[in-house]
Amino acid sequence: MADHVGNPFEYVLRGLGRPYGPLIHRDPVAARTTPQVRRVGVGDLKDALRGGLSDFAAARDDVVFIVILYPLAGLVLALAAARYDLLPMIFPLLSGFALLGPLAAVGLYEISRRRERGEPATWLDAAAVLRSPNLPAIVGMGLILVALFVGWLAAAYQVSLIAFADAPPVTVRSFLAEVFASGEGWAMALIGIAVGFVFALVALAVSIVSFPLLLDRGVDLDVAIRTSLKVVAENPATMALWGLIVAGMLVLGALPALLGLIVVLPVLGHASWRLYRKVVA
């Protein structure tokens, strides 16, 4: 049968029938061993981004079809918020999706891993991740990010209640007027950005190498998180710069109407795998 761009359900069902190579035998001792981490610099970030772009170019036919679901989900949530008079929650909803980025990129990590080993690297192969013996830990890490996302939404909602105590805006025009034409609006924006920064910082610190490590070596969840925190502690400036790069690319990808994320998300996902290879010995 000729190659074609299949749908995600086809990939998952067919991929479940394939064994997941690197974790066929999970070593309990290795699962409790914290890997060593390296110091990295700006040059390493550039190399990771170049590698991510290369991986995306090689697998774009399969990747784009799947990744398009991510911005579509964001748009649906934003439209739902506007429809139900929750305009102040549109920005938290869209920006909060960045917290879930590492979870959404699990399949991309597997594609990058297979490419560097010279193996087939399509979503048909990446779906075999669902057969990983370390899947419970991967799910656990995903639930942590989901909890951060929900916590961010709850915090943003409380900020909006304080800022719009009299009555929430019911149109986009009135919302923008209240945000940019009043001191309360600016205060809400600044407080919201500060709170969002805290959630983003926590998400970055616990997940920057967690998912690749769980996929690649089958370590326990707490070991993966501890290693991720150690990476940030050993490379605070470089990881802060990486966080700014990710945030900046996501902002650019959000224009127009989140369509740019169809390219930005897979590039960042593949680049995150490349960065993991550089920073974890």
Q: How far apart are CA 47 and CA 149, in angstroms?
A: 30
Yes or no: say if 18 and 125 are a contact pair by the CB < 8 Å rule: yes
pLDDT, one tens digit for every residue, the chain (281 residues): 444 444 444 444 444 444 455 444 567 777 888 899 999 999 999 999 999 988 888 866 555 555 566 666 666 766 766 666 677 777 787 778 778 888 888 888 888 888 888 887 776 777 777 878 888 999 999 999 999 999 998 998 888 877 776 666 666 677 777 777 766 677 777 888 889 899 999 999 999 999 999 989 889 999 999 999 999 999 999 999 999 999 888 888 777 666 777 788 888 989 999 999 999 98
Q: What angle do CA 239, 244, 245 make, to 5 degrees?
A: 95
Write down the residue that tokens 């920006």 correspond to: 95
Sequence spans of domains, the chain: 46-279
DSSP state at residue 27: -
Cα–Cα distances in Å, from 186 out to 89, 92, 178? 15, 15, 9
Instruction: Give the span between the Cα atoms of 207 and 144, in whole angstroms.
Output: 9
User: In 3D, which of 131, 129, 89, 130 has the Cα closest to residue 110?
Assistant: 129
Amino acid at 130: L
In the three-class reduction of DSSP (H, G, I as helix; E, B as strand; rest coil), residue 3 is classed as coil
